Amino acid sequence: MRTRIKELRARYDLTQDDLAKIVGVRRETVLFIEKGEYNPSLNLAHAIAKALKTTIDELFLFDD
Amino acid sequence: MDERARMWVMVGISAVLLAIALMITLNEGINAWSEIVLLTILAIALVAIALAAKSMREIRSGFPLQDERSMALSIRAGNRAFYVSMYIFLFMAMAFVVLEDRGVTFSNAELLFVIVGLMGSIHIIFSVYYNRKGRRSSE
């Protein structure tokens, strides 16, 4: 799984710390999600998508 | 109870337990064994202070102390630590039976100290390992 979190963060000028504070998680969690090394719960995925003004299916890209 | 209050309660309980352990150890008199216990108590207290300071910094910066990923990691670390501890203690129990037959005995306090120390160390090792390795999902 790949994500567009980094790209959208840059668009809205948000750091990983900013995004982590907005969605209420630790900064490492954002880092691991961004690298595709952690699959967030549906609630967290929704919160991140909302913070980045997009939808879950546009944020998380599956290779299949 | 919010995270800051929960952390202070944990710090308070730990301080009381360490103080009781310190009092009991000092009451027994200073020998090689009590020196080991005192050094361990000191090490635990120093680590606890460092962790509490780090946690306070995190809370002040607006980050939660635990989220779904760290919770999943600590559950996995606890689960693994439980099974590994169980097998180690089973082995130790067998070793103690053999040693007892050969006339080597240990006091209950020594055994308790070793068991609790081992359990805590194994849990810390697994926590660090899973924090570095990560976890694919919150399940």
Tell me the shortest Cα–Cα distance from A11 to chain B, in angstroms. 23
pLDDT (0 to 100) of residue B136: 65
Structural domain boundaries, residue A32: 2-55
Three-class DSSP labels, B23-63: HHHHHHCCCHHHHHHHHHHHHHHHHHHHHHHHHHHHHHHCC
A50 lies in some domain: yes
User: B27 CB near a chain A CB, below 8 Å?
Assistant: no
Burial of B30: CB neighbours in 10 Å, binned 0-12, 13-18, 19+: exposed
- The reported pTM is 0.68
Distances in whole angstroms, Cα of residue A11 to Cα of each of A27, B44, B50: 19, 45, 37
Assign residue A15 the CATH number of its domain. Answer: 1.10.260.40
ipTM: 0.84
Stronger pLDDT, A32 or B18, i.e. the higher one? A32
Rounded CA-CA distance B55/B127 in Å is: 16
User: A16-57: per-residue pLDDT in tens?
Assistant: 999 999 999 998 899 999 988 888 999 999 999 999 999 999
Which of B62, B66, B134 lies closest to A32 in CB terms? B134
A63 lies in some domain: no
User: B54 CB near a chain A CB, below 8 Å?
Assistant: no
Tokens of A51: 């913070």
Any idea where the domains of chain B sit in the sequence?
Answer: 1-65, 66-139
